[in-house]
Amino acid sequence: MTRFPASIPLLAVLALLIPACERPPDEAPSDVPRLPFDGAAVGPDSFRMVNGIGDTLRFVVTPTGAGTRIARYRRVDAGVDSLVAVVDPVDLEPVSSLQHRHLTGGAVTAAVEYGRGFDGQARLRLSAARGQRDDNIRTPPPVLDAAQIPLSFGGLDLTTVDSLSFNYVAPFEGRAMAARLVATPDTLSVGGTHHAAVRLRLLVSGLEERYWFEAEPPHRLLRFQEVTRNMTWDRG
């Protein structure tokens, strides 16, 4: 997925910056239905989530001339990691994204512009201190950018969704990967308050994340769990 723990050496990412033959993209199902988003449900917002050791994620959603801007920030020892996506305000399809990560050995940035690459593909630019590389990513619809997840899921009709398949664009991997989202009704206690919720499980490339949204609109994100890293974030 898109996160890169500090233990991953920068050389693993810099390998993507070395000119190479075109890598074959993952094949994705061509009959996946359009994602049932309601853009009105993802409006302006700003909030924080905190994990058990006091680390903080900050989420900010703002309207812009280019679309709805969805941003996530996390302070790390070397600075601030950020994931920012601009999406269509109605169907929430990605327009562009920018991710900045601090890894072992330095920082790396991935910028994606949808529909701006060769033959309508997404254009990817990977940048680090040692170089820069431009590439194309095939993005068969429906597609979501890693930077717009999970807040875009608040735009789903969570009363009717049980499972969805889509293509998950992971810029640092340089490709779109087949992903599945599974929804289950749940109850959740956060800060001593009980909520009727919907638990969403995101499954992609053998990894899993879980998100709990309020069952009723506007479907606020209440909990975010990085299963692989065994880390849970609760809304402050």
Does residue 26 surpass a pLDDT of 50? no
Indicate left, alpha or beta for 110 from its phi (over 0: left) and psi (-120 to 50: alpha).
Answer: beta
Tokens 């000119």 belong to 19
pLDDT of residue 236: 83
Whether 35 contacts 167, CB under 8 Å: no
- The answer on pLDDT for 205 being more than 70 is yes
Report the pLDDT value the prediction gives residue 229, as an integer from 0 to 100.
86
Question: Is the pLDDT confidence value at 7 over 60?
Answer: no
Arithmetic mean of pLDDT, 5-26: 43
User: Taking a C-beta distance cutoff of 8 angstroms, is the pair 83, 71 a contact?
Assistant: yes
Check residue 28 and give its pLDDT: 40
Region 31-51 average pLDDT: 80
Section 6-13 average pLDDT: 44
Residue 171 has pLDDT above 70, yes or no: yes
Please compute the mean of the pLDDT values over residues 200-229 and round it to a whole number. 93
pLDDT mean over 54-73: 95
Rounded to 10 degrees, the C-alpha dihedral 63/203/141/133 comes to 80
Residue 229 is encoded by which pair of tokens? 């890293």
Q: What is the pLDDT of residue 39?
A: 67
Return mean pLDDT, the chain.
Answer: 86
- Model pTM score: 0.83
